[in-house]
Chain A
Amino acid sequence: MIFGQIIALSGLTKHKVYTVYIDSMKSITLQSLLDQGTVWAGELTPREKGRTTGHTQLDELLAHGGWPKQGVVDIQVSAPGQGELQLLLPSLAQADERLWVWLDPPLQPCAQGIRQAGIALKRCLILRTENAGDALWALERCLQSGCVDSALAWLRRPPNNKALRRLQMAAETGGTLAHLIHDEHWPADAGTHARVALWPSQTAGHLHAQIVRQRGGPQQRPIVMPLLAQQACSPPAPKPAQLGPVHLDPQPRLSLQPSLQLAL
């Protein structure tokens, strides 16, 4: 470890001194420190762009203009099905060819729905573990491997600081983004990159989202976001062609030509 001091200039008048501990094995530049989000840099812009969340409203509030490129983010929802996947799917649809890991999902993911969001099914790896130790190990192993793009984990209990630190390190090694999805019983000060709280809105098909805490940025007011499914729920105008439910039917679609149906 080396011991260093960094002076961050904010405007021309004020300056602040930060003390940082840096792993001496890595080459350090000011930019790399800012990218890690360990140093608060005042009004220094532009930052390194993160991964876009796919929701413009949310991108504007997040410090990196989206999810961090790598790191651990936690998402608080009271129960599964409150919009946590709707929040994440748009960003995943733009990801590269690497794997997307689901660790201990509480319900069965619906392949058709996932495919509809534009995600290749062969990228989805669902892991089922038997105990908390295995789950943490599997998550860390996936994060550091470098062949996982992002991971979605439902951990049985909040990881302690040491475990979280390990997850952070692993995510940085592998260039992976992890989302820990949990309920409101987790401690408020979990050392993750950011915490996003979600709760359903009174308006049907909308979602309240609030950035409770984030590195390198302030807490934000709750916003109301429309769910993707809501956008898809635009006025139903069933044409005959839309009635065929599935895509994979071995038979040709029969419903296309009324004359053909009559002939049958």
Chain B
Amino acid sequence: MKRQFIAILADDVPLAAAQIGGATTPCCVIENQRVLCADPNAEKLGIHPGMSQGTAIALSADLTLYPRHLATEQGLMQGLAQWAYRHSSWVHWNEDCLIVEVAGSEKLFGGLESLWQRLHSRTLRHIGRCRVALGPNPEAAVLLARLEWQTLDVNQAQEWLTKIPLTRLPLNAPLIQRLSAMGLNQIESLLAFSSADLARRFPIELKDYLDRLLGRKPDLRPTWTPQENFHSILSLQQACHNAQALAFPIKHLLDQLANFLKTRQWSCLEFTLTFINEDRQQQPLTLALGQGLHRTEAMIEPLKLHLNKITLSAPVIDIQLTSDRFRVWRGETGDLMKPQPKDTQSELLIALQARLGKHALQGLNLAASWLPERANIQQAFGLDVQEPAAAYDNIRPTWLLPTPLPMAPHDLKTLQWLRGPERIEAHWWQDQGGRRDYHVASQSGALVWVFKDLRTQQWYLHGLFG
């Protein structure tokens, strides 16, 4: 099968990175004192890429300039590559360009056109304006995208390759000048040379590039492979002092994480946010997600509760999100006939834990012991619970005092005995063991559970039938 590649040149990546960080319109991104990228409103004011910074400011007073954030841009491109990996196993990305092999998955996604549309609309939505083209090999696809020569027929693209003007090739300027001085205008004219001739007359990079463009040499770009861990960083345009206000930019990071999880059918058990201030000092915030979450909306709630509790030690300029604890996602199927609950049990537990703290959630469990205070335990909620199959015969109260309460002799006189004794003798091989006779009694109407310690003859109150 003949391979086909779609290249996407995402021109607006610097702008998208600035907007995630909180840029306002009209704006443009500046690198080396020159405009790298301008948003549509800025373009209406006559600001174009390549213009100097001074000219741009002179044209409009409202314009805001932002420095370029390469790390955020890379995060965006990587997110796009990750999404594209669902469509193809051959994906390559660099700063502004994504290349996807599409011949292999053409049938699966209902034809080349729909695949093209998917890639195009995703890029439009998540990054911004882009140029897309199809080519017989990665290099050709990139070049055709740069020229905006678009076709859905790969043979047509192959034919077009020879018609490309040499001035548009991404080669160094002196070489291009030299070629045009020699009267060579199109790639066609270079093909008249034998390859030995080409290598002798021109610098080697021309032959090299030509070979890759025409598919004579294999393209050795590294393909992207999915990572095992999630890591993404976001730079804010303005330092942020308020922890609650960080929820909005963090949502972009969580969207990336959710996408990462979705492609792997994983749920995240824990993630760490690191807030980095201008002095590169880090303030980490780790969120445990219980049984695991995989949707952005579900992760936002505990995050907001945590953000309400923390104070930032210094204004934050970078936010980093990392996670390396995952689990296979287990879907829960709701009952079709019943009203759908607002959230799942694990979402509720995570929210409660986020606001009330780790130790606020407790559950009940039984332990193998004869002494009631050891048999009935409270533990962190969610741990395994041992449920005996058969009910037991001896009556037990519903409230248990953590430590038995000594009873005065006159208290005993008010008791009305109902049932007993039930002897419990345990831990006699240890010092803290006991020999006790338990009774159910009524004390002014309420039922109580009392025992007599047979070693000290002292009476204790141990439980209430509340």
- Name B's interface SS: mixed
Using a CB-CB cutoff of 8 Å, which residues 94-131 of chain A contact chain B? 99, 107-118, 120-122, 124-130
Would you give the shortest CB distance from B437 to chain A, in whole angstroms?
12
Write out, one digit per residue, whether chain A residues 123-154 have a CB within 8 A of any chain B CB (1) or not (0): 01111111000100110011011111000000
* Residue pair B397, A138 in contact (C-beta under 8 Å): no
* Residue pair B396, A113 in contact (C-beta under 8 Å): yes
How many residues on the A side are at the interface (Cβ–Cβ under 8 A)? 70
* Residue pair A110, B400 in contact (C-beta under 8 Å): yes
Using a CB-CB cutoff of 8 Å, which residues 224-239 of chain A contact chain B? 227, 229-230, 232-233, 236, 238
Check if A218 is an interface residue, CB within 8 A of chain B.
Answer: no
* Residue pair A115, B391 in contact (C-beta under 8 Å): yes
* Residue pair A126, B363 in contact (C-beta under 8 Å): yes
The contact of B445 among A126, A130, A204, by CB within 8 Å, is A204
Would you give the shortest CB distance from A77 to chain B, in whole angstroms?
8
Most chain B Cβ neighbours within 10 Å, of A130, A141, A204? A204
Within 8 Å CB of A117, what residues of B?
398
CA distance A175 to B356 in the complex (A): 23
* Residue pair B363, A85 in contact (C-beta under 8 Å): no
CA distance A218 to B359 in the complex (A): 43
Closest to A175 in B: B339
* Residue pair A121, B363 in contact (C-beta under 8 Å): yes
Within 8 Å CB of A130, what residues of B?
356-357
Closest to A141 in B: B351
A and B contact pairs by CB, cutoff 8 A, 29 listed: A80-B466, A83-B446, A85-B399, A108-B401, A109-B399, A110-B376, A110-B396, A110-B400, A111-B376, A113-B396, A114-B364, A115-B366, A116-B396, A120-B387, A124-B364, A125-B362, A125-B381, A126-B361, A128-B356, A130-B356, A137-B355, A142-B352, A146-B342, A147-B343, A204-B416, A227-B447, A227-B465, A229-B440, A229-B447
B residues near A, CB below 8 A? 339-345, 347-349, 351-352, 355-357, 359-370, 372, 375-378, 381, 385-388, 390-402, 416, 418-420, 422-424, 440, 442, 444-448, 463-466
Q: A81-B448, A130-B356, A134-B355 are in contact. List 14 more A-B contacts (CB 8 A).
A: A86-B465, A107-B464, A110-B372, A110-B463, A115-B387, A122-B363, A129-B360, A145-B341, A146-B340, A174-B342, A206-B445, A245-B370, A246-B370, A248-B388
